[in-house]
Chains A and B, each alone.
Chain A
Amino acid sequence: MSKKTDTTRRAIVGATVGVGLGLGAISMLVPIGALKPKKEVTPETEPPKKGDVFVFAEGDKKGDEITFADLPKGGPFVLAFPKDPKTGVIKNGERNNMVLLIRLDPGELSPETAEYAADGTVAYSAICTHLGCTVSDWVADKGDLLCPCHKGIYDPRQGAKVVGGPPPRPLPALPIQTEGDKPVCAGGFTSPVGVVAGLEPQGGSCAV
């Protein structure tokens, strides 16, 4: 057997193994792509929709429906989850469903904010657009919303505009309407909730 044949054989074996490994590696892309978990929509994780009432997200009255009487005028705000009034399901399976409800003087609201409000009550996503903490602190003297994680400050009278700190865009608003003594949801969030890389302040659309 000449030396040349040996080299040729080795090249063929090498090429075969190489092609096999290469194809194997490419096929791995499917399971790697599947590593991103499926998002399973259950009644608890559905986004808020028109007609949903709100329930307390925490505290002694956790799970109780919120009426206008529960919201102190001029703040502070209340953290809430939407609840489907027909099925009675509280949509707290998805953290991005958390909203903050605040009752303000209707005269103080900017025209754009007033569109989403009912009797001075506005609802915003409670998920900070900076890094996703809950906007859970109330600046009493200024009447602003404060995220305690990196001190992002939002003004609830001006469409939750960022008035201090690092958040890149305002909190998405959730339109509200009155139904009896309760504020209820009048549509979807005005922009995507939470941390979205590079989203412009005007991004998203008024869903539902």
Chain B
Amino acid sequence: MRSKWPIVLVVCVALVLAFGSKAAPKEVKIGVILPLSGPLAPTGKSLREGIELCADVVNNKYPDLKISIAQWEGIPNLGGAKIKLVFADHRADAGWGADQAKRLIRDEKVIGLTGCYNSAVTKTASVEAERAGIPFVNGESTSPALTKRGFKWFWRVTPHETWFTADLFNFLDGLVKGKARGVKAVSKGQIDKLAVATENTEWGAASLKAIEEFAAKHGYKIVEAFKYPHVAADLTSEARRLMASGANTYLFASYLADSILFIKTLKELGASPRLVWGQDAGFVEADFGKTLGSAVNGILTRDLFSPELGNIKPVATQLNKIYKQRAGYDFSGSSARDFVGLQVWAHALNEAKSTDPKAIAKALNALHIPSEELIMPWKGVRFGSPFPGDTQQNELGSGVINQLQGFPGGKYQVVYPFEFATANLMHPFPGWK
């Protein structure tokens, strides 16, 4: 009788190979949808570099970085599987973004998605993830509506506009109360007339709405408010409109190209508001200060990151140094948040110990990343419901307000929260006359 052992052995080996390969994939594919062409291409490039750096830190050993992903060399609980990023360009087009999400899920077989920067695109692309039942972890889109849809497969890491707008008005109130570093109490009458210009996509509209709500609550008057198309050849009329309003405080929600155009035009017209504030986006891009030079000095922007935060978070300085060596410029609030977005993906995969969507979702809902693991000045990452209606929104995030000082070649100095200020506030805004 012939022995059956060889057959049993072959079957065992086959079973081990089959199950072994399923339990420990060599790589996990994550789809990244960003604006890589069109007017937002420079922004998309910086975001891509942030995400790529995070993947590199997860996949390779960085012994000097005192965060856990830097010691992993792959996802430990997935047998050291490497993260493979599959990029797609959404061209700032919500419909195209949704198509790209479908393509990544169906053809590239990604296990989940991240991106898309533009809230409007994140909205449509995340619908595709919801339909397919795969996780979408968003790092940097800030329209409050995104986490108010009750989606089961959508998690947002960044704080949203409601936080930032609250920060702005707390900052203005603090300025009146004399809390700002290096500035005596300012009369409220000097900064209480607001003119608001926001671009006309979902993000701009959400920003305007939040500003209107908080202005009413904090006793500030909106004397002019309008939305404008951010793909514009000229913004002279809009700039004139701001100046004609008699406002002493200008607030913007603008992308890179339109923020540059606005500031150039206001400079050309000799505008002299007492305070200028931008809602992140274009105002925190490296090209903003590089392109406009000294015209940006004194402009405030809500942000989430500053290279100057190194005093509080040494790991932020270390990673920013590596990022700068590769990209040629510092982390922006957006690229730093996208770094964290992928970091959340890595932790979730490690906790899930599987690439099964349900296991990842469970891991994301139970995830808690402490502050010391992050480059952001946050208390950590934990998904919950920080504001009424929010679901699966990181509740431990927070923002900062930076001021551009010393350009060209200057820095984004933290001026709010007042206790974290890295420089004296320049106030009033020097104007462009």
Is chain B found bound to chain A in the same assembly? no
Chain B contact residues, CB within 8 Å of chain A: none
